[in-house]
Amino acid sequence: MFAAILPGLVGVFLRVYENTLVRQTESELIAQTAALSATAEALWPGAVPRVVTPEARLEPGYYQPEGATIDLGSTPVLPARPDVRPAPAPDPDAVLLNERLQPIADETARTTLASIVLLDGRGTVIDGYGKGGSLADLPEVRSALAGRPYTVLRRNADYHPRYSMEWLSRASGLRIHHARPIVVDGQVRGVILTSRSPRALFKGVYQDRIKIALGILGTLSVIAVLAVLVARGIARPIEKLSEAAREVTTGGGTLPPAPATSAVEIRTLYEDFSLMAEAVDRRSRYLRDFAAAVSHEFKTPLAGIQGAVELLQDHGETMETGQRKRFLDNIAADARRLAGLVTRLLDLARADMARPDANLAIDVVPAVSKAVDARAGELEITVDLNDPPPVAVPPATLEMVISTLLENSRQAGATRVVISARGKDRDLILTVADDGPGVPPGDADRVFEPFFTSKRSEGGAGLGLSIAVSLLAASRASIRLRPTTEGATFEVTLPIAGR
């Protein structure tokens, strides 16, 4: 942003600087005319010298500084000063004053290069521009004759460009005109009219070259500091992050902590990448373990099928009918087991890929009732939900989880199950407790692992609770086994909708 606005800042600087030069010229003209008019008032023929006591100088309001009023952006530019118009003879007192003031005015003009014109009380030129004519129609002169000093901008008729880049200056072809009244005994008896071209922009830049050079060096220093900050806070940390990410993708290395000098956003990016790397690593380990478990689970029925087929191929014709039937039944049982494994694996894959649904508000009672009705003939089930609030979990997920827990209770030998609910902070806790033999302490940490089952002989695949965990995790819910001395108690934590 700093680099983008730098050209604009330079343009604004040049405009402000040139306007300052113009106002400085006006201030110099104001000071010159103030001194000349005070001198004229003191030298006016017959004027009573004004005496200012020290006490008067201490009174409030005695000092009244007069500031510059010209602004290149808003002050209108008038045409060059016109020729004088005919006028009667000037005031004799003004002519006599001019003789006395002329040496002072000449010395002032020689030093300040300002044009100084003396007018009488009617705007007639005493000496200087168009001697003997009248300039009373000029707005600055009219204001001075009314007792108010006034400054205007006019075109410079004698201006001719001398430098190729001079067109960039707005004030190069202008001239500042300032008129100040000569007040004697409370009456305006004359006007001091001065004019001068402002200091040229590039001449002023040259004269202030050391200060401007220091400003440029300061700007370059700021840019250098910004470059260092960008390099240390953004560029280098991103390069290190990119290098570490490439190492992680090849299976080696870990993401380093964010450098202390990096920007807040870069540190957040490091944290997000670290979380992503940890998730990828966990997922990789899960897939490796899962692939090994799947291989083991498939290997047993496939080995049984293969062995039975080889025996039938070698001795099928000589086998007794009952023996042949037993081998065929084993093949069919192993095939059904493989089919069940494939189905459950597909369910687990869908559960792992599930995503939370937005704006869900599901009543728990219908989903639980549906799962309970399917097992009502096998177990004595008591439901005590007590009008629970809606939860942000799909009804199919609730039904599947409750059905899995009820089936596990049945397989474990339980006869009675109690399903209850209670609120806790922003969650609803569903508790499923049975009167079965419970889970052995050694298996408590493994019941949610894929393919872990104590009922393998009854066809259990050990995937029910794993699928339940994945489905609940997709809705930011969870399930856990609560330690008990009797039976098995599972707690399902469901997020309440809208919280």
Residue 37 has a pLDDT of 94
CATH code of the domain covering residue 55: 3.30.450.20
Structural domains in the chain (count): 2
Domain range spanning residue 91?
A: 2-207
> Which of 175-189, 204-218, 386-400, 450-464 has the least mean pLDDT?
450-464
Q: Provide CB contacts within 8 A for 433, sequence distance 6+.
A: 417, 418, 420, 484, 487, 488, 489, 490
Residue 55 within a domain: yes
- Give me the chain's average pLDDT, please: 81
pLDDT in tens, 377-427: 778 888 888 888 998 888 888 888 888 888 888 888 888 999 999 888 888
- Round to whole Å and give the CA distance between 415 and 380: 6
Which helix (H) or strand (E) is 118 found in, with range?
A: strand 115-120
Residue 469 within a domain: yes
Does the predicted TM-score (pTM) go above 0.95?
no
pLDDT in tens, 243-252: 777 777 776 6
Which of the listed residues 185, 207, 229 is the one where a domain comes to its end?
Answer: 207
Residue 366 within a domain: yes
Beta bridge mates, 181: 191
Residue 306 within a domain: no
**Most confidently modeled range among 20-24, 57-61, 122-126, 347-351:** 122-126
Read off the tokens for 152: 């205007």
Residue 380 within a domain: yes
Q: Provide CB contacts within 8 A for 344, sequence distance 6+.
A: 461, 463, 464, 467
Residue 338 has a pLDDT of 75
CATH code of the domain covering residue 445: 3.30.565.10
Which of the listed residues 155, 186, 207 is the one where a domain comes to its end?
Answer: 207
Residue 367 within a domain: yes
Which of the listed residues 188, 207, 226 is the one where a domain comes to its end?
Answer: 207
Residue 392 within a domain: yes
Contact between residue 471 and residue 401 where contact means Cβ atoms under 8 Å apart: yes
Residue 271 has a pLDDT of 80
- What are the contacts of 139-145 at 24+ separation with CB within 8 A? 139/78, 140/177, 140/178, 140/179, 140/193, 141/179, 141/191, 141/193, 143/179, 144/179, 144/180, 144/181, 144/188, 144/191, 144/192, 144/193, 145/121, 145/181, 145/188, 145/191
Residue 428 within a domain: yes
